[in-house]
Amino acid sequence: MDFSSFLSSLPIMGYGMAGIFIVMGAIFICISALKRISKK
């Protein structure tokens, strides 16, 4: 395993993980907003 290649790919993996968490947060916000709207 090439350690320098692993270190150079860490920022790309970080952006991917950040994107996943941002999308999950957006879905959670949309679902909670829909629950509040439809509760009435």
Whole-angstrom distance, CA of residue 37 vs CA of residue 35: 6
In this structure, the chain runs to a length of 40
Residues of the chain below pLDDT 50: none
Helices (H), 1-40: 3-39
Looking at residue 40, what is its pLDDT? Answer: 65
Looking at residue 1, what is its pLDDT? Answer: 78
